[in-house]
Chains A and B, each alone.
Chain A
Amino acid sequence: MPDEEREARRALACVVEAGEPRLASALGKAEPQVIWERVAAMAGRRLEDGSHDPWVRRASAIDLDAVRAGEVAHGLRFIIPGDDEWPAGLSALEGCPAVQGIAGAPIGLWVRGPRPLAALSEVSVSIVGSRAATSYGERVASSLAGGLAEAGVCVISGGAYGIDAAAHRGALGEKGTTVAMLACGLDDPYPKLNVGLLESVARAGALVSEYPPGAHPTRPRFLARNRLIAALSQGTVLVEAAARSGARNTVSWATGCGRPVMAVPGPIGNATSYTPHRLIREGEAVLVSSVDEVRELIAPLGTVALGRPRAGRLLDTLTDDQRSVYEALPARGGRTVDDLAMRAGLRMPLCLAALSILGDAGLATCRSDGRWRLGSVSDQPVLIPDVATPPALQPGSRPTEPTMARSVAQKEPQR
């Protein structure tokens, strides 16, 4: 009976330290109910033979009723393999070699949050990195997370300070979904200072843990938790990590599970750039610098077109004012706002508004000296089948060249 299996798995999850290879091999040979019966029986005899097996010792002390009461009190549910909600991705852990003495799929998961975990993790990316992140790292993590969330990708991370928190925040900021994988009981989320953030995560996505209510975070538990972050998501993005970092461990798991590993470069002098740069140099990670590049790596081949120029459609949406400013923008060099307003024949406020809107659409760029030129989204015909035929350009507009669409160039670096 499935209920018996659930009870057995709940009991085992309370007794066995997550990621113990011994459990993985035991589960290969016997049903969870059988294993639990055996452990429980030994626990009954423990006093006589003085067993030193930690499973048995813990089994003699657990209070499963308290665990169930904790689940009810904190709105948790315990899910096991075979449930509709069980994420398919976790099975990748079964064939995965042990990393630092930890291996195997979780025996069950406690989940808090309104959405089914399987649906959340179906299209998801994990963003991990240093707790001691720089402001650059946090900005990158949160803007990547925001962009992914906007594209409907669930952002998975560990709920810790630094990059983790920035990633959750970025996803929440775009009203997206996000999952925090914790290394402690969900009744008392760690770290304490992130409780407010984690509450928001629980409302928008889910808090997940393989530890029962009341369990405290310990060093090995963080390492075991990392394998779930890697396995649950379609790909892992490392934002900042020093030479010795827990995030490096997550990357190893992602590699072991056959998931793409991505890394964002940083300034070469920073300690937190060490691991991402090393992974890129050694070929273990792919360099990513934009949301589209991440989506391209996790999506099935051909479903995301990288840097698709949208100008063909955009130009149609411009108002007359915007179009006249657009036509006045030079392709190289730059023109002052004064000059553009005169050429476009517009009053200053209207010209400024048009420039700002064109800038948002990527059709205009403000140079560091305050002058404006054409933006990085080109106005050229686009060689992508699903884009409508380019609009008939106005007479007098720039001649079109039959070349491949320009790729999305990055905005000029700010000083």
Chain B
Amino acid sequence: MRLARAWSIALVGMEATLVEVEVSIGGGLPNTMIVGLGDTAVKEASQRCRSAVAAAGFAWPPSSVTVNLTPADMPKSGSHYDLPLVAATMAASGVVPRRALEATLFLGELGLDGRVRSVRGVLPAVLGASRSGFERAVVPLGQIREAQLVEGIGVVGVESLGHLVAVLKGEPYDVDVVDPAAGSDEVAGSKDLADVVGQPEARWALEVAAAGGHHLSMVGPPGVGKTLLAERLPGILPDLAVDEALEVSAIHSMLGASLEGGLIRRPPYADPHHSASLPALVGGGPHLARPGAVSRAHRGVLFLDEASEFSPAALEALRTPLEKGVIVLARSQGAAAYPARFQLVLASNPCPCGWYNVAGFASRCRCQPYAIKRYSSRLSGPIIDRIDIQLRLQPLSKSHLRGNHPTEETSAVVAQRVLEARSRQRHRLDRHGFSRNAEVPGSLLHRDLPNPTGVEDVDAAVRRGVLSSRGVDKVLRLAWTIADLMGHGVPDRGDVHTALAMRQGETEEVNCA
């Protein structure tokens, strides 16, 4: 009996677990059997491998081949076990030396012609292997740059099975160098604030949201520019820090995005359609769950257009990630945790037709009062509670359409102010373990930070009933962000009132007994 082993990785959520692929070639009728709780993609590996081996000019062992994936009680899925399987088989049958398989991670799918194809999750897998002390990772050639993002581990890209054998035997191999898809030019893709005509209030709200990391809700009639604005929020957010970028890139790698352009350094943007299913939004799937839109938007912006049209279950599912910054998807075969710390931007119409209470269009709305009420109450209290800025968008006023106003500020100018405000926040909040005003809990606001001047006006607003007592903390957080943007050490009365004005209309949520 001949035995060999190769190493690969199973990803449960973002967590990488080492998987040992053991191959034993014994006597008996020709037969290949894979054990160890593999899903269909794993079971079908034997067909792919046999064909690929033949195509590369080798012979599949003409006897009984048993493949065991251990730990055997952990479910495994995906097509990236093809490469370790074939490597171990060749080592067991003596084609390549067993030693070449030591401390080496194998990832990759095989085509029937012996080509090595890309797989999902190369970055988190190689990251996990590097942390476990592996010295070398063999990955599909097309994903070599993605694997090279991980430091402290040698990366070998293989183009085909023949290439793999050459690498393992230490022989030279000529690769037809095909320039792997040129890195996407991300700057060209991002959208600029200068494209937004007028809407200074909305631009300001966007700037504050970006500076403090505040969740934002926009209400306005159709065509007023809600999507236009939301798409421009990532463009004014600061670059991701290295550890954040690695986290974000790992998630996107799992989702199958190409990282050949390098780490994702810009905050991502996800805008699921309102018909999105619950698994699409928060992640899911059978056996072991895949990341959803909330994780795709990790460290970036999650934009829900027509928020009132999302199913209540989908909206409620946002509550945990909003609170904890992570989503844990428990399935019968294990729980997967994905980071999901996103900035939420909601856009909705004031009513089903979109024209209720829009100045100048009062007679246009034909919705029943009950329908209007129901429409606006779709967003539940716990979600609304998390939203610091409520912006009401108005159709452009005539003076803005008519006048030839100066060119608007570009995203770069605004982003610079946001960056400065962020650094002020970090300076103040670092020792409390926070980085953005939106994350600051009420206790810290009231106990450890100095009281803004004019804070008594906030109390007065509560007494007059124009601000709910829950709104107090939001106003204070906003006031701090505004002060950071204006360069004030502590919010002054003006900052507090600017914050108050940014919550106009909040009392509309109050329902009568």
Contacts and interface: CB of A to CB of B under 8 A. Distances in A.
Contacts of B497: 352-357, 360
Given A369-B358, A370-B392, 14 more contacts: A136-B513, A267-B512, A335-B397, A337-B200, A337-B501, A339-B397, A348-B201, A350-B494, A353-B495, A353-B496, A353-B498, A357-B497, A370-B505, A415-B508
B397 A336 contact: yes
B504 A349 contact: no
Contacts of B463: 143, 146, 173-174
A360 B460 contact: yes
A339 B399 contact: yes
Interface of A is mostly: helix
Contact of A414 (B493, B495, B510): B510
Q: Interface SS of chain B: helix, strand, loop or mixed?
A: helix
B357 interface: yes
A305 interface: no
B359 A339 contact: no
A135 B510 CA distance: 10
A334 B400 contact: no
B512 A356 contact: no
B394 interface: yes
11 contacts: A134-B513, A135-B512, A337-B501, A338-B198, A350-B494, A352-B498, A355-B501, A356-B501, A357-B493, A357-B497, A369-B362
Interface in A325-373: 334-339, 341-342, 348-350, 352-357, 359-360, 366-371
Residue in B199, B501, B505 whose Cβ sees the most chain A Cβ within 10 Å: B501
B196 to A, nearest CB: 12
Contacts of A353: 493-498, 501
A369 B504 CA distance: 10
Contacts of A334: 359
A105 B198 CA distance: 71
Nearest to B464: A143
A58 interface: no
Interface of B: 198-201, 203-204, 357-359, 362, 392, 394, 397, 399-400, 405, 457, 460-461, 463-465, 482, 485-486, 493-498, 500-502, 504-505, 507-508, 510, 512-513
A349 B498 contact: yes
A136 B512 CA distance: 7
Contacts of B510: 414
A30 B432 CA distance: 74
A267 B513 CA distance: 11
The interface size bin for chain A is 35 or more
Nearest to B459: A173
Given A339-B399, A342-B399, A353-B494, A366 B201 contact: no
Contacts of B392: 369-370
B495 A349 contact: yes
A349 B394 contact: no
A139 interface: yes
A369 B365 CA distance: 13
Nearest to B457: A360
B200 A342 contact: yes
Contacts of B464: 143
Most chain B beta carbons < 10 A, residue from A341, A350, A414 = A414
Interface string A149-161: 0000000000000
A271 to B, nearest CB: 12
Contacts of B465: 139, 143
Contacts of B502: 352
Contacts of B400: 338-339, 342
Nearest to A348: B204
B508 A356 contact: no
A135 B198 CA distance: 41
B460 A371 contact: no
A415 B506 CA distance: 11
Contacts of B199: 338
B55 to A, nearest CB: 65
A336 B203 contact: no
